[in-house]
Amino acid sequence: MGRNPALLLVLFSLLVGLAVADWNILKQRGWSNGLNLKISLKNYCESWRINVELNNIREFDVVPDECVDYIGKYMTSSQYQVDSERALEQCTLYLSSSFAWAGDGKDAWIFDIDDTLLSTVPYYKQHHFGGDKLNLSSLEGWLKQCKAPALEHTLNLYNEIKGRGLKIFLISSRREHLREATVDNLLKVGYSGWTELILRVPEDGCQEVQKYKAEKRKQLIDKGYRIWGIVADQWSSLKGLPTAKRTFKLPNSLYYVA
Ligand SMILES: *[C@@H]1O[C@H](CO)[C@@H](O)[C@H](O)[C@H]1NC(C)=O
């Protein structure tokens, strides 16, 4: 231990303060000054990520430049997979709990598609992990190639829910012109047997996604469906009324859909 703990504390605070205030400059200098500074940027970016997940940080167009590396690492890490698995484990637990299906064909479950059933991480990997502003025509061009892999943990849950006899509805903010590619991609990676695939048509194209998805849920409820759960990676797929009995949020800090 140092002889002068107070001085050490002051120095440490200064270093931390410096790191928090100006990590861009420090980063450009190559992080040669030791571990503490490095941890500060990591702390900042992890806190940014968590606050996206908590829905405190909203409406962001791009991942902050200084966190692109961090978010890229997270979204391709086993931690991301473990976090997703943990979320979906709660669905399984919920499904196994004591409530009983009516068995009248009106028990329903909703899944979002992108970064819920299918992963767009390979696309974002080629586009600066959310650090570039979204180019819709470029993203849709990629989606049309039907190369999005399945998120394996969701595929397992999907099959479990299907096996229990619930009707599965896919409500996506993908546009109608992507229907064929979407179906092809889903089938190719192992999803099948959904009851309806709901995509956006020009008439609801200007609405916020949250409002569009809530409206689609209302239409299902009006048809007599009981929506037991929703699995999605965006808050706009989960919020708004009417909703499901339970909702499950998967991690995604690459982009924000309002
Ligand atoms: C968006 O992507 C398209 C197709 O890849 C490309 O032609 C266009 O230049 C891009 N627009 C911008 C603003 O980068």
C-beta of residue 209 within 8 angstroms of C-beta of residue 234: yes
Long-range CB pairs of 236-240, under 8 A, 24+ apart, other chains included: 236/173, 236/208, 236/209, 236/210, 237/112, 237/116, 237/171, 237/209, 237/210, 237/213, 239/210, 239/214, 240/210, 240/211, 240/213, 240/214
Distance 137 CA to ligand 1 centre (A): 7
Please state whether the peptide bond connecting residue 251 to the residue before it is cis, i.e. omega within 30 degrees of 0: no
What pLDDT, on the 0 to 100 scale, is given for residue 102? 78
* Ligand 1 pocket residues where CB is under 6 Å: 135, 137-138, 141
| Closest C-alpha to 234, from 214, 209, 197 | 209
Q: What is the pLDDT of residues 19-65, one digit of tens each?
A: 444 455 445 444 444 555 556 899 999 999 999 999 999 999 999 99
CA 98, 99, 104 angle in degrees (round to 5)? 140
pLDDT over threshold 80, residue 179: yes
What pLDDT, on the 0 to 100 scale, is given for residue 33? 47
Distance 257 CA to ligand 1 centre (A): 20
Q: What is the pLDDT of residues 60-84, one digit of tens each?
A: 999 999 999 999 999 999 999 999 9
Tally of CB atoms within 10 A around 135: 10
Which CATH code of 3.30.499.10, 3.90.220.20, 3.40.50.1000, 3.40.50.300 fits the domain covering 80-249? 3.40.50.1000
Please state the domain extents for the chain.
Answer: 5-65, 80-249
Distance 124 CA to ligand 1 centre (A): 14
What pLDDT, on the 0 to 100 scale, is given for residue 1? 41
Instruction: Kindly report the protein residue whose alpha carbon is nearest to atom 5 of ligand 1.
Output: 138
| Closest C-alpha to 15, from 2, 26, 28, 3 | 26
Instruction: Kindly report the protein residue whose alpha carbon is nearest to atom 4 of ligand 1.
Output: 138
Long-range CB pairs of 45-54, under 8 A, 24+ apart, other chains included: 45/70, 45/71, 46/70, 48/253, 49/74, 49/253, 52/253, 52/256, 53/249, 53/251, 53/253
Q: How far is the C-alpha of 114 from the C-alpha of 120, rounded, in Å? A: 6
Residue to mutate (ligand 1; options 127, 128, 135; most atoms within 8 A of CB): 135
31 Rama sector, left if φ>0, alpha if ψ -120 to 50, beta otherwise: left
Instruction: Please name the helix (run of DSSP H) or strand (run of DSSP E) that holds residue 223, with its range, or none.
Output: none
| Closest C-alpha to 250, from 91, 48, 56 | 91
Amino acid, single-letter form, for residue 153: H
Residue to mutate (ligand 1; options 61, 137, 143, 144; most atoms within 8 A of CB): 137
For all residues of the chain together, what is the average pLDDT?
A: 89
Q: What is the pLDDT of residues 95-150, one digit of tens each?
A: 998 567 778 999 999 999 999 999 999 999 999 999 999 999 999 999 999 999 99
C-beta of residue 53 within 8 angstroms of C-beta of residue 78: no
Range in 78-92, 100-114, 158-172 with the lowest mean pLDDT: 100-114
